[in-house]
Amino acid sequence: MQKRILAFDLDGTLTDSVPDIAAAVNRTLAARGFPALPEAEVAAMVGDGLQPLIDRAFAAVGSTPDAAAAAEYLADYESKVAVDTRLYPGVADALDSLRADGWTLAVCTNKPERAARLLLEALGVADKFAAVGGGDSFAAHKPDPLHLRGTIEAAGGSLDRALMVGDHHNDVRAARGCGVRAIFAGWGYGRPGMEEGAVAVAKDLPALVALAGELLPA
């Protein structure tokens, strides 16, 4: 039997990571004399990758980023990747339950791959994933379906035996673009309407585990 793949977004799906993202953004802004942004404002900037995050943060203070800003932010963030970031409640149990049921797990995130791996390691769950596809791992990233397709293939699976879980419209669009069904993570950073196109919305992690089993039985 071909393995079943469950691909997860990271920020806002597995982890509540905005506190550390916002802190690094604000240190990058402060180094240039700009005021700090509220965490809630930064949360709305997350999901499209590194450069869009930096562009949006600088736009919010009425500026544009200099050539060094993105690299400076990333180095700072990677050095403090899990100060206040936590797994969402129920994530660890859900991952163990899914693996016990025969699922192969992967991460498909627009966060740079090294930062994603550092975060997963710091939170003690890196060994639960067969593949990590970061925003810089392939020639394109979400919502381009190439990103999800590459991640699923790296995990040793195929599109017809895979599901995508995420809290952003990019997750849903990437999944639909390669014929994979998406489950929207209702507990994350998503805003109303982002779930459009998903086959289901999971209100919490236990609901996700049940939905995955119903959509793609062993």
Buried b (16+ CB within 10 A) or exposed e, 110-119: bbbbebbbbb
Residue indicated by tokens 């779930």 = 195
Q: What radius of gyration, in Å, describes the C-alpha atoms of the chain?
A: 17
102-118 residue pLDDT tens: 999 999 999 999 999 99
Per-residue model confidence (pLDDT) at position 2: 83
Alpha carbon of 80 to those of 24, 30, 67, 192: distances in Å?
A: 8, 17, 22, 31
Query: What would the two tokens of residue 211 be?
Result: 């939905």
**Dihedral (C-alpha) 94, 129, 182, 214: value to the nearest 10 degrees?**
-50
Q: Is residue 1 very low, low, confident or very high in pLDDT (cuts 50, 70, 90)?
A: low
69-106 residue pLDDT tens: 999 999 999 999 999 999 999 999 999 999 999 999 99
Q: Give the whole-angstrom CA distance, residue 24 versus residue 52.
A: 15
Count of C-beta atoms within a 10 Å radius of residue 138 = 18
Strands (E), 1-58: 4-8, 15-16
The class level of CATH for 18-79 reads mainly alpha
**CB burial of residue 64 (10 Å; 0-12, 13-18, 19+):** exposed
Per-residue model confidence (pLDDT) at position 218: 87
4-16+85-215 CATH choice from 3.40.190.150, 3.40.50.720, 3.40.50.300, 3.40.50.1000: 3.40.50.1000
pLDDT score of 64 more than 80: yes
Residues 6+ apart with CB under 8 A from 147: 108, 110, 133, 135, 137, 138, 140, 141, 174
- Please, how many CA atoms are within 13 Å of residue 12, restricted to the half-sphere of its CB? 29
**CB burial of residue 53 (10 Å; 0-12, 13-18, 19+):** buried
| For residues 28-50, average pLDDT | 96
Do domains 4-16+85-215 and 18-79 share one topology? The answer is no
User: Would you list the domain boundaries of the chain?
Assistant: 4-16+85-215, 18-79
Catalytic residues: 9
Triad 35, 15, 32: Cα angle to 5°: 20
111-140 residue pLDDT tens: 999 999 999 999 999 999 999 999 999 999
Tell which residue, 87, 134, 86, 128, has the closest CA to residue 108: 134
Q: Is residue 150 very low, low, confident or very high in pLDDT (cuts 50, 70, 90)?
A: very high
On whether the CB atoms of residues 171 and 202 are closer than 8 A, the answer is no
pTM value surpassing 0.85: yes
Per-residue model confidence (pLDDT) at position 215: 97
158-202 residue pLDDT tens: 999 999 999 999 999 999 999 999 999 999 999 899 999 999 999
Q: Is residue 35 very low, low, confident or very high in pLDDT (cuts 50, 70, 90)?
A: very high
